[in-house]
């Protein structure tokens, strides 16, 4: 799989946004569609891949979150749970005693191997050698995510096929290996990595139209990965779409990792101060986000949210390609 074929990648967006129809439409229109499978079980990943293929999507990516290697500090989790009580109460959602576990990464990864997408993309870490080999043996190309030059170099040493450079403008979680690492603006990150890494670089963060795509291509990117631009597409059944464009901010209170979204209770004085490490905080806040209104949902979106356009996925892909070629 060559990245020369793709100028545009529809970013993986976990949490039900990049569903099978959405991804198939992106792929059919000529982008590389991506299934955000970070919260899906193995069975759901296989069903999703089947769904994309049944809907006519040919080449596509499946994306997972690399789990942390350390177990969380139990005391920190107890404190985080206590701090969330007032948030549940303010939102009028009953706080459960038990919190559902996240799907196992081993099971998710086996499903990716079985589904055999053109690309396996991942974020929050590096993929162990044996797992990289397993993908290679099945002809699955590998794409890691970097938010700094050091991370991009580490992924290049691992032998990935391409690196997503995610600038701090990006919607959703910051894909850094260190969950607390600071972000870097996309243009600076791209300029620095262009000198340091000789792999195809995929630019992500705040890119909303063909002119933005042209800017990063001129600066050396092989392709552009857009997430927020797709949030108001008709096929995206999302709370972000309902909330409409708005100002964004960052928070660690939803999941324990930094993430950018439309400003709401998670980013003001109502947010808890004691936060468990990722992914424990994600588990603790999950019932609240599901049960509450927009104030307590995770409305992930990038700094370009106010420029997102409402149209079908395929039309947006065609529009972006046309705008880009006109530049």
Among 177, 226, 243, 288, binds ligand FMN (CB under 6 A): 226
Angle between helix 20-28 and helix 313-326 axes, rounded to 10 deg: 30
Residue 241 burial by Cβ neighbours in a 10 Å radius (0-12, 13-18, 19+)? buried
Interface pattern 139-178 for ligand FMN (x via CB under 6 A): ------x--------------------x--xxxx--x---
Sign of CA pseudo-dihedral 86, 92, 98, 101: negative
Question: Which residue's Cβ has the minimum distance to ligand FMN?
Answer: 227
Least distance (Å) from ligand FMN to the CB of residue 303? 6
Answer yes or no whether residue 35 interacts with ligand FMN by CB under 6 A. Answer: no
With tokens 């569609």, the residue in question is 33
Contacts of ligand FMN in 182-221 (CB under 6 A):
204-207
Q: Which is nearer to ligand FMN, 165 or 288 (CB)?
A: 165
Q: Which is nearer to ligand FMN, 258 or 300 (CB)?
A: 300
Measured distance CA(63)–CA(202) in Å, rounded: 15
Interface pattern 57-96 for ligand FMN (x via CB under 6 A): ------x---------------------------------
Among 7, 108, 147, 228, binds ligand FMN (CB under 6 A): 228
Q: Which H/E stretch holds residue 115?
A: helix 105-115
Answer yes or no whether residue 256 interacts with ligand FMN by CB under 6 A. Answer: no
Answer yes or no whether residue 36 interacts with ligand FMN by CB under 6 A. Answer: yes
Contacts of ligand FMN in 104-123 (CB under 6 A):
123
Answer yes or no whether residue 103 interacts with ligand FMN by CB under 6 A. Answer: no
Contacts of ligand FMN in 292-321 (CB under 6 A):
300-302, 304
Q: Which is nearer to ligand FMN, 77 or 213 (CB)?
A: 213
SS3 per residue for 221-286: CCEEEECHHHCCCCCCCCHHHHHCCCCEEEECCCCCCCEEEECCHHHCCCCCCCCCCCCHHHHHHH
Q: Which of 191, 196, 189 is CA-nearest to residue 154?
A: 196
Distances from the Cα of 221 to the Cα of 186, 230, 247, 267, angstroms? 11, 20, 27, 32
CB distance 133 to 110 below 8 Å? no
What SS3 class is residue 110?
helix
What SS3 class is residue 58?
coil
Answer yes or no whether residue 225 interacts with ligand FMN by CB under 6 A. Answer: yes
Q: Which residues bind ligand FMN (CB under 6 A)?
A: 11-14, 17, 36, 38, 63, 123, 145, 166, 169-172, 175, 204-207, 225-229, 300-302, 304
């Amino acid at each position: 799989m060559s990245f020369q074929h793709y100028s545009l990648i529809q970013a993986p967006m976990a949490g039900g946004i990049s569903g099978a129809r959405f991804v198939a439409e992106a792929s059919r229109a000529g982008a590389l569609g991506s299934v955000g499978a970070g919260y899906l079980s193995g069975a759901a990943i296989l069903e999703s891949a089947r769904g994309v293929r049944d809907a006519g999507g040919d080449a596509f990516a499946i994306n997972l979150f690399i789990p942390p290697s350390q177990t969380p500090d139990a005391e920190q989790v107890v404190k985080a749970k206590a701090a969330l009580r007032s948030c549940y109460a303010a939102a009028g959602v009953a706080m459960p005693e038990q919190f559902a576990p996240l799907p196992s990464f081993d099971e998710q990864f086996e499903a990716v191997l079985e589904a055999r997408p053109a690309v396996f993309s991942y974020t929050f870490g590096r993929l162990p050698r044996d797992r990289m080999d397993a993908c290679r043996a099945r002809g699955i190309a590998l794409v890691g995510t970097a938010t700094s030059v050091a991370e991009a170099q580490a992924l290049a040493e691992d032998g990935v096929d391409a690196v997503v450079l995610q600038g701090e403008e990006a919607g959703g979680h910051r894909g850094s290996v260190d969950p607390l690492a600071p972000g870097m603006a996309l243009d600076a990150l791209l300029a620095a990595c262009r000198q340091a890494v000789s792999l195809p670089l995929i630019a992500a963060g705040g890119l909303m139209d063909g002119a933005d795509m042209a800017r990063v291509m001129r600066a050396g990117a092989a392709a552009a990965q857009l997430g927020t631009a797709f949030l108001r597409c008709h096929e995206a059944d999302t709370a972000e779409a309902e909330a409409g464009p708005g100002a964004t901010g960052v928070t660690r209170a939803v999941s324990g990792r930094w993430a950018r979204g439309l400003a709401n209770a998670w980013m003001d004085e109502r947010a808890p101060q004691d936060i468990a490490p990722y992914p424990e905080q994600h588990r603790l806040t999950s019932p609240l986000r599901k049960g509450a209104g927009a104030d307590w949902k995770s409305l992930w979106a990038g700094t370009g949210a106010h420029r997102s356009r409402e149209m079908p996925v395929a039309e947006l892909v065609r529009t972006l390609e046309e705008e880009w070629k006109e530049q």
